[in-house]
Amino acid sequence: MGHGYRVGLAVGIVAVGALTGCGATSAPKQRVGATSAADPVAAARHDAVAAYEGMWDDMAKAGETADWQDPALATHATDSALDILVQILKADDKDGAVLKGGPPTMNPTITSMLPSSSPAVVTLKDCLKSPNWLMYRKSTGALWDDKPSGNRATTAEVVLSQGVWKVVAFSSGNLGSC
């Protein structure tokens, strides 16, 4: 698989590639204007989106150094979502590549919430926009290739477990799919 394709993988498609992380563990992302627990639907909507956005922020930071062992990657992602991020970063690290110019621009929308009265599983869709999130050679800082990044239709499942919202799975379409 080509290196330009892996940049797309970093934006969410399920496959083997690589990026990496920095070393500081971050707290789960909180969005300004957090809603009260008195409205569990609004709180779930808010917190699930914050976890999704936090996952991409963590990935972008980790991608700058290709540190696939960065514990911050597990702040907002778990299960297959975390596995994908780690595999992408491992491959980039092995190849001597890093990502710069991220995170992607996000504008997720909720497509389902279960159960409806007190959600613990939220599905969302997004068009990840990453025209400047590109691969560079770790050794020289030079651009890896001339393949542009771009927009990808993305879906994600975010789950509340032990009081914390995390992305458990995600997938992305082909470049230009949104």
Count the alpha carbons within 13 Å of 54 in the hemisphere toward its beta carbon: 27
pLDDT band for 107, please (50, 70, 90 cuts): very high
| Strand 151-161 relative to strand 121-129, pairing | antiparallel
- pLDDT confidence of residue 38: 80
Domains of the chain: 3-172 (3.10.450)
- pLDDT confidence of residue 37: 59
Greatest Cα pair distance, the chain, in angstroms, is 53
Q: What digits encode the pLDDT tens for the residues 24-82?
A: 334 554 443 444 558 999 999 999 999 999 999 999 999 999 999 999 999 999 999 99
The token pair at 164 is: 């914390």
Q: Is 28 exposed, middle or buried (0-12, 13-18, 19+ CB in 10 A)?
A: middle
- pLDDT confidence of residue 163: 94
* Best CA proximity match to 159, nearest among 52, 61, 8, 13: 52
Q: Are 97 and 122 in contact (CB under 8 A)?
A: no
